[in-house]
Structure 1
Amino acid sequence: MSRLIIWRHGNTDWNAANRVQGQTDVPLNDLGRQQAVDAADMLVRLRPDVIVSSDLRRASDTAAALAALTGVPVRHDDRLRERFFGQWQGLTMAEVKESRFAEWTRWRAGEAAIGGGVESLDDLGKRIAEALQAAADLVPADGTAVVATHGAAARQGVGHLLGWPAEVMRTLRALQNCHWVELTHDSGRGWQVAAYNVGPVSDKPVPPPV
């Protein structure tokens, strides 16, 4: 049975400010770097065979904390980038709501296409699921792959990989920073969820996956 860990990056200043990151290359802050170290201390026990990351710094630097403990090099895949949020990127969610209310309303309703140059959920799910499967294909039948990615990307990619309909995906809560999803796979049952939103204990509120 193989195992796939889908790991959200650590905290950033834009997370803390509730500012839309999307594919803007925002680095980890001090809290995020500590979260990455704490999470890596847990994930190293899974003995990953492969570590793959989004090429955005907040994910890549999160993955590097695990690579430092395991000696496994980080591979980069730009398909693992966060959802492209178009004209929302750089705005706080309050600013989005005020200046782009119709789009914000569609986003809140979970509609697949919301306008403003924001990537559709279908396109996001497809590219992330492809990258997740590619990472899983790098390990042997009993191996473990760890993939460092982003909040919206992780949720949509997992749902797409599992073949879930949109209404089921919306029941998943956002991953906390530096928390992960554990999937297992065997030839008889395919992909199954073994754990969700696992990670270091934190009393911080969950930033939105943007």
Structure 2
Amino acid sequence: MTTLILWRHGNTEWNAEHRIQGHTDAPLSALGHEQAARVAPLLARRTPAAIVSSDLSRAADTAMPLSQLTGAAVRPDPRLRERCYGDWEGLTMTEIATQFPEAHARKRAGEHDLGHGIEPPADVMKRVGEALRAAADAAEGQTTVVVTHGGSARYGMFDLLGWPIEQLGSIEILGNCHYTELHRDRVRGWMLRAHNVGLVKGGSPGYE
């Protein structure tokens, strides 16, 4: 059975400050490096055949302890980046509510077209879903760890499972260094086995 483990990166200073990161290359904090080192042995026991990572440093650096334990090289894939949040990146939701009140109100109402250079959810689902399928096909019948971001992991999971985007809010976002596990059965297709699994506490639920 083909398995994908979608592993969210460790903590960053912007996570701690509840700032939206998106495509901004915010680095791991000291806590983030510690989280990655603690969780890596758990994932190494799954003997992944491959490790694929977002090309942003907070994901790539999270992948490194696992790479060192398993000997598997980290393959970067920019399609695994977080949703681009355009003008909102670097801001807290409180700041966004002040600077972009109309768009903030639309977001709270569940609308997807927010403007301000923010990537449409359907586009995120498509690109992340493509990256996940490519990773699964490259290691058919084996386990691949995909190191990505909280939002993109959830969008990609919905794309693989064929779940409607309107239900996105019913699944919590991954905590820092937590993961989702998906299996692909030849008859039944993709199935969710586990979600938001991890050893560390205090992970930010914020936009990644």
TM-score normalized by the length of structure 1: 0.96
Alpha-carbon contact 1:3-1:145 (below 8 Å) kept: yes
- State how far apart, in whole Å, the 2-side matches of 1:73 and 1:88 are: 34
Return the offset for 1:111. 2.1
- State how far apart, in whole Å, the 1-side matches of 2:113 and 2:164 are: 15
Return the offset for 1:94. 1.2
Return the offset for 1:101. 1.5
- State how far apart, in whole Å, the 2-side matches of 1:58 and 1:69 are: 19
Identify the range of structure 1 (41-50 vs 106-115) with the bigger mean alpha-carbon deviation.
106-115
- State how far apart, in whole Å, the 2-side matches of 1:176 and 1:158 are: 15
- State how far apart, in whole Å, the 1-side matches of 2:167 and 2:124 are: 16
Aligned to 1:161: 160
Alignment of 1:21-60 (within 5 A): 21-60=21-60
- State how far apart, in whole Å, the 1-side matches of 2:153 and 2:205 are: 14
Alpha-carbon contact 1:174-1:206 (below 8 Å) kept: no
Alignment of 1:89-168 (within 5 A): 89-141=89-141, 143-168=142-167
- Note closer, same or farther for the CA distance 1:109–1:69 as it changes in structure 2 (3 Å cut): farther
- State how far apart, in whole Å, the 2-side matches of 1:26 and 1:131 are: 22
Return the offset for 1:205. 5.5
Find the residue that maps to 1:200 and give its secondary structure.
Answer: coil
Aligned to 1:11: 11
- State how far apart, in whole Å, the 2-side matches of 1:109 and 1:52 are: 35
**Match status 1:86 vs 2:94:** no
- State how far apart, in whole Å, the 1-side matches of 2:203 and 2:58 are: 19
- State how far apart, in whole Å, the 1-side matches of 2:149 and 2:134 are: 17
Q: Where in structure 1 are there 5+ consecutive unaligned residues?
A: none
Alpha-carbon contact 1:52-1:74 (below 8 Å) kept: yes
- State how far apart, in whole Å, the 1-side matches of 2:188 and 2:3 are: 13
- CA offsets, 1:168-195, max 9 Å, x none? 2220001000001000011111000000
- State how far apart, in whole Å, the 2-side matches of 1:110 and 1:39 are: 34
Alpha-carbon contact 1:16-1:207 (below 8 Å) kept: no
Return the offset for 1:60. 0.3
Let me know the Cα RMSD of the aligned residues: 1.1
The number of aligned residues is 208
Alignment-mate amino acid for residue 42 of structure 2? M
- State how far apart, in whole Å, the 2-side matches of 1:112 and 1:157 are: 16
Alignment-mate amino acid for residue 13 of structure 1? E
Counterpart of 2:207 (choices 197, 206, 209) is 209
Return the offset for 1:110. 3.1
Find the residue that maps to 2:170 and give its secondary structure.
Answer: coil
Q: Which contiguous aligned blocks of 4+ residues in structure 1 show a shift greater than 4 angstroms?
A: none
- State how far apart, in whole Å, the 2-side matches of 1:178 and 1:109 are: 29
- State how far apart, in whole Å, the 2-side matches of 1:162 and 1:105 are: 29
